[in-house]
C-alpha cells in the first residue's frame, strides 16, 4: 500500500527518469511485504527553481541528478527502513546511473484507515491486508 512520489530536475534524461518508478517498486517488493501490483508512483520533473536542494547538507554531495523519493506507508521497524534505503539507492544506481549521494528518501507513516483506493471506501478497514 505504499504511495511513492519521485521528484527530479527536468534536466535528468527521460530514459533515466523512466527507470526510477520500477526500481523503487522492485526495492519495496524485495524489502517489504507488499503485494504484486501495489504500484502507485507520481514522478515529477521540476524546472530550475521549482525544487531547491542544498548541494552539501549532512556531508552528502548532490548534483543535478538529485532524486527525492517520498514514500507513504504503514509503520515499519527502523531496520527494515534502513534496508529499504540501501536497496533503493543500489537499484537507482544500477538502473539509472544515479549516484547514492544523489538519492534522498523520506518516509511518512500512516495507518490502514488513511487509504481509499476508490469508491469512497477505506478498503483496508473493511478488508485488512495480511
Domains along the chain with CATH numbers: 3-126 (3.30.429.10)
pLDDT score recorded for residue 1: 79
For residue 72, pLDDT over 80 is answered with yes
- To the nearest whole percent, how much of the chain has pLDDT over 70? 100
Residue 19 has pLDDT above 80, yes or no: yes
Confidence of residue 128 (pLDDT cuts 50, 70, 90): confident
Is residue 2 annotated as a catalytic residue, yes or no? yes
Residue 33 scores a pLDDT above 80: yes
Report yes or no: 101 and 62 within 8 Å, Cβ to Cβ.
yes
C-alpha pair distances (Å), 71 with each of 1, 15, 48, 52, 108:
10, 22, 24, 19, 6
Cell digits for 13?
534524461
Q: What is the overall mean pLDDT for the chain?
A: 96
pLDDT band at 88 (very low <50, low <70, confident <90, very high): very high
Alpha carbon distance 101, 50 (integer Å): 20
Q: Does the predicted TM-score (pTM) go above 0.85?
A: yes
CB-count exposure of residue 102 (10 Å: 0-12, 13-18, 19+): buried
Amino acid at each position: 500500500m505504499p504511495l511513492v512520489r519521485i521528484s527530479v530536475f527536468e534536466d535528468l534524461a527521460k530514459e533515466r527518469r523512466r527507470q526510477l518508478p520500477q526500481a523503487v517498486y522492485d526495492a519495496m517488493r524485495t524489502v517489504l511485504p507488499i503485494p504484486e501490483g501495489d504500484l502507485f508512483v507520481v514522478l515529477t520533473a521540476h524546472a530550475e527553481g521549482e525544487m531547491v536542494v542544498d548541494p552539501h547538507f549532512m556531508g552528502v554531495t548532490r548534483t543535478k541528478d538529485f532524486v527525492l523519493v517520498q514514500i507513504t506507508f504503514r509503520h515499519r521497524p527502523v531496520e527494515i527502513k534502513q534496508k529499504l534505503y540501501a536497496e533503493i539507492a543500489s537499484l537507482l544506481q544500477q538502473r539509472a546511473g544515479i549516484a547514492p549521494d544523489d538519492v534522498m528518501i523520506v518516509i511518512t507513516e500512516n495507518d490502514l484507515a488513511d487509504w481509499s483506493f476508490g469508491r469512497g471506501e477505506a478498503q483496508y478497514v473493511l478488508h485488512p491486508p495480511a
